[in-house]
C-alpha cells in the first residue's frame, strides 16, 4: 500500500478506525472476530490503527492491545482521551462524559496504556474539546504526557481552525481528526487550509459517510444501539431524499471500475496528500474492499462530477443531532 506522512510517522495511506468492532453501529462483534479483523488489517498493509477510550468504554483499546501488542513495532497507534464512560450515578452503568481536565486526561492515558499493552501511544488525541476547560489547559496536560514519554505526539478531534491554532501555540499538533467525506464537507471551510499552513496532518473519519456511500441501507432495521438513529440524515424523510443521490453515484463507481465504498475513499486520497482516511468496519470483506481503494485512480473530471453530485447543498439533513452539534467545535455551513 502507498504510504503517507502522519506527523513524524510514515503510515499506510488508508488506516483502520477501530470503533466499529465494539461500538456505535449496533451489537458488537465477538472478540475473536474483532481480533481476526485487526490482524487481517495488519497483514494487508494497514499500519495506522485508531481507537479511543470511549469506544466500548475501553473495549476497543483492550481488543487492539490483545490482538496487536505482539506486533507493536509494525504500526502507528493512535487513541483518544477527553471523552469516556463514567459511572456518574454510582450504579455501575457507564455514561459518556466529556472531560478535558488535566487530571482526567492523565488518568485516562494511564488506563489506556494498560489496555493497549504498550509503553507509549504514538498519537494521542483530545477526543472532544471540553468547552468548560480552556483548550490550552488540556493541550498543556497532553504536552506533559509527551515529556513524560507516555505519548509521542498530540492530536485534536472535531475542532475548528481557530481552536487548532490556539492548541498549536501551546504544543505542536500532529493531526486533526474530523469527519470528512463527500457528504460532510465542513473541513473545506477552514480546517484543511489551517492544516496546510501549520503542517498538520488531517485524518478523515467516516470517509464512507457512516456507510451511506457503501450502498443502500435499511434505516428502519438499524439496531437499537446504532448511533445513526439519532442522526438526521438517516431519518426516513431525509434518507429518502439522500437515497436519490446513490444511483448516479453508483453509476460513477461503475464507470471508474470500483465499488461505491472504494470511490468514497479514493476521492479523499485524491483531494490532498495530507489527508489520511480511516474507514472502520467489522467485516473482513469490507476491510479488503476498503484497503483496495488505494489503487483506484480518479481523473479531474471524475472528481468534479462527484463533488457536483454530493455536497453540502445536495445532502438533506444535519450530520448530528442538536445535542451532538453542541458538543463539537468544528465549522458548519
Contact 97, 86 (CB under 8 A): yes
How far is 171 from 250, CA to CA, in rounded Å? 43
Helices (H), the chain: 31-43, 59-68, 102-116, 135-147, 161-170, 191-198, 236-243, 246-256, 260-271, 284-291, 300-309, 322-327
What are φ and ψ of residue 296, in 5° steps?
-80, 130
Task: Give 155's strand partners.
Answer: 125, 175
Structure-derived torsion over alpha carbons of residues 154, 158, 159, 164, reported in degrees to the nearest 10? 30
pLDDT for 33 equals: 97
Could you tell me which residues come within 8 angstroms of residue 80 by beta carbon, excluding any fewer than 6 positions away? Answer: 51, 52, 53, 54, 124, 125, 126, 127, 155, 157
Would you state the cell numbers that stand for residue 52, as one nine-digit string?
479511543
How far is 222 from 225, CA to CA, in rounded Å? 8
Radius of gyration, alpha carbons of the chain: 19
Segments making up each domain of the chain, as ranges: 3-327
pTM: 0.97
Mean pLDDT, the chain cut into blocks of 10 residues (333 residues total):
96 98 92 98 98 97 98 98 93 94 98 98 98 98 98 98 98 98 98 98 98 95 94 96 98 98 98 97 97 98 98 97 96 94
pLDDT for 26 equals: 86
pLDDT for 158 equals: 98
pLDDT for 118 equals: 98
Helix (H, G, I), strand (E, B), or coil: what is residue 22? coil
pLDDT for 52 equals: 98
Contact 275, 13 (CB under 8 A): no
What dotted CATH number matches 3-327?
3.20.20.100
Residues with a known catalytic role: 55
Amino acid at each position: 500500500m502507498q504510504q503517507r506522512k502522519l506527523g513524524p510517522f510514515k503510515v499506510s495511506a488508508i488506516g483502520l478506525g477501530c470503533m466499529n468492532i465494539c461500538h456505535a453501529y449496533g451489537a458488537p462483534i465477538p472478540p475473536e472476530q474483532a481480533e481476526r479483523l485487526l490482524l487481517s488489517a495488519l497483514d494487508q498493509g494497514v499500519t495506522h490503527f485508531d481507537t479511543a477510550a470511549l469506544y466500548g468504554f475501553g473495549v476497543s483499546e483492550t481488543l487492539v492491545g490483545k490482538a496487536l501488542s505482539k506486533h507493536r513495532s509494525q504500526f502507528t497507534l493512535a487513541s483518544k482521551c477527553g471523552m469516556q464512560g463514567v459511572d456518574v450515578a454510582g450504579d455501575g452503568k457507564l455514561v459518556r462524559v466529556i472531560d478535558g481536565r488535566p487530571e482526567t486526561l492523565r488518568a485516562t492515558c494511564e488506563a489506556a496504556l494498560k489496555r493497549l499493552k504498550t509503553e507509549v501511544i504514538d498519537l494521542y488525541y483530545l477526543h472532544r474539546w471540553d468547552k468548560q476547560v480552556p483548550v490550552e489547559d488540556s493541550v498543556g496536560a497532553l504536552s506533559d504526557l509527551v515529556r513524560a514519554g507516555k505519548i509521542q505526539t498530540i492530536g485534536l478531534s472535531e475542532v475548528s481552525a481557530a481552536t487548532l491554532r490556539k492548541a498549536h501555540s501551546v504544543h505542536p499538533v500532529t493531526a486533526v481528526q474530523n469527519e470528512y467525506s463527500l457528504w460532510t464537507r465542513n473541513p473545506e471551510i477552514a480546517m484543511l487550509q489551517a492544516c496546510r499552513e501549520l503542517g498538520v496532518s488531517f485524518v478523515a473519519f467516516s470517509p464512507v459517510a457512516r456507510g451511506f456511500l457503501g450502498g443502500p441501507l435499511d434505516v428502519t432495521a438499524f439496531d437499537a444501539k446504532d448511533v445513526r438513529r439519532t442522526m438526521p440524515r438517516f431519518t426516513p424523510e431525509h434518507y429518502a431524499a439522500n437515497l436519490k443521490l446513490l444511483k448516479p453515484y453508483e453509476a460513477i463507481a461503475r464507470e471508474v471500475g470500483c465499488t461505491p465504498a472504494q470511490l468514497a475513499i479514493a476521492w479523499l486520497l485524491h483531494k490532498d496528500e495530507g489527508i489520511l482516511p480511516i474507514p472502520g468496519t467489522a467485516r473482513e470483506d469490507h476491510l479488503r474492499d476498503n484497503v483496495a481503494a488505494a489503487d483506484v485512480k480518479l481523473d479531474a473530471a471524475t472528481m468534479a462530477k462527484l463533488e457536483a453530485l454530493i455536497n453540502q447543498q445536495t445532502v438533506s439533513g444535519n450530520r448530528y443531532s442538536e445535542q451532538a452539534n453542541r458538543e463539537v467545535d468544528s465549522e458548519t455551513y
